[in-house]
Amino acid sequence: MERHHRCRLQCILPPHVMKRLSESSASATRAAAYDTARLSERLRGMRMVLADFARAVPTGELRRSIYDAENTERLPGALVRSEGQGKAKDATVNQAYDGLGATYAFYDEAMGRLSIDGHGQRLDATVHYGRKYMNAFWDGTQMVFGDGDGAVFGPFTPHVDIIGHELSHGVIQHEAAFEYHDQPGALNESFADVFGVLTDQYQRKQDVKQASWVVGRGLIVKFPKQAIRSLAAPGTAYDNELLGKDPQPAEFKDYDPKAYPDDNGGVHIYSGIPNHAFYLAAMKLGGNAWEKAGRIWYLALTELLGRGAQFSDAALATVTAAGRLSGTGAEKAVRDAWEAVGVSATSTSALRRRKKKVA
């Protein structure tokens, strides 16, 4: 099918949200949803080309550049803050700058990874993209932030978990590089969610019991206590008259990729299944999730999984990683977590093995 081969822009908000908003009774909301969908569709075909031109910093040092698109559709826009410069007058610029720094610090200090590509890639971001653009995305080389429409969604830059999610798509791009459809695509979104919430937890120094385990809380203007995804309880992140009810399932028995053809087989929907497995494993292992479950998932991503991985491959890879890193107790905790969501740890040809030293 065509959708198996088309490049899909990896946005934080899925297509079903835009479809819902396009049917709103408010004309301004319908217009903003239409413009968001139009721009996202136009950019989808660019991502794989842009990925070939990822910019690296030879010294391997943190290097952030924030650009302002000034509500146009041109990227990257005008440079407004570079690494080491003082704060800008625009809070959005500073939030993007700080979010990139928080993500860099998480990967450097918690995972031992030097930037997105592991070799010091510079971190660029553009703010104020388009007019009332209701999304944020990784385009293959940089972060891009819309301002939201102010009525349904606010700005995306204050949310470190969203920034961590999108930049983690860059990490995935350089590692397992999951195909963006069906189960591999759901794993793509899930690993991005996992490392997005871990970035936020690491910055806040929250253990598994203190963490909220949601992505994007506060993004929905009229419902600031709601979020866009929940790892602890998929399907409960939001429920309101603007967006409807969160459709994510937590168990594999509800997996039906044909139900979401506009989302490449439900990559943003069925990510809830591996998301919940990670949450259950993290809670069982306890402590700081980035030190235990996070290291297991990172090892699986960077050493054991390949482009066509299915949920069962991810289960086997994380069980294997748990055994290597922490022994049989952790291995059982991870296996039990996957079985709780209805996935068995079995092998397919999608598993890869690289001759790299295991951390």
When pLDDT is averaged across residues 27-56 and rounded to a whole number, the result is 50
What distance in Å separates the CA atoms of residue 303 and residue 354, rounded to the nearest whole number?
6
E strand map for 143-243: 143-145, 214-215, 229-230, 239-240
Q: Which of 63, 125, 115 is closest to 93 using CA atoms? A: 125
Domains defined for the chain, CATH in brackets = 2-174 (3.10.170.10), 182-340 (1.10.390.10)
Alpha-carbon distances, residue 56 vs 59, 71, 210 (angstroms): 9, 27, 36
Q: 341 near 276, Cβ under 8 Å?
A: yes
Inform me whether the pLDDT recorded for 302 exceeds 80. yes
d(CA 197, CA 327): 25
Residue 6 has pLDDT above 50, yes or no: no
pLDDT digits (tens, 9 = 90+) for 165-174: 999 999 999 9
Omega into 76 within 30° of 0, i.e. cis? yes
Which of 326, 332, 298, 292 has the alpha carbon at shortest distance from 314? 298
Under DSSP, the state recorded for 175 is T
- Residues 209-241 pLDDT 10s: 999 999 999 999 999 999 999 999 999 999 999
Strand partners, 103: none
- pLDDT bin (cut points 50, 70, 90) of residue 42 is very low
CA 111 – CA 347 distance, rounded (Å):
26
**Angstrom distance (rounded) from CA 211 to CA 272:** 17
- Contact by Cβ (8 Å): 227, 237: yes
The predicted-structure confidence for 60-119, as pLDDT tens digits, reads as follows 689 999 999 999 999 999 999 999 999 999 999 999 999 999 999 999 999 999 999 999
Catalytic residue from among 128, 159, 268, 276: 268
Contact of 301 with 210, CB cutoff 8 Å: no
Concerning whether 189 is annotated as a catalytic residue, the answer is: no
Which residue out of 128, 159, 166, 175 is catalytically annotated?
A: 166
Please list, in sequence order, all residues whose beta carbon lies within 8 angstroms of the beta carbon of residue 330, skipping any fewer than 6 positions away: 285, 292, 296, 322, 323
pLDDT over 60 at 53, yes or no: no
For the chain, the C-alpha Rg in angstroms (whole number) is 19
Q: What pLDDT was estimated at residue 74?
A: 92
Assess whether 174 carries a catalytic annotation: no
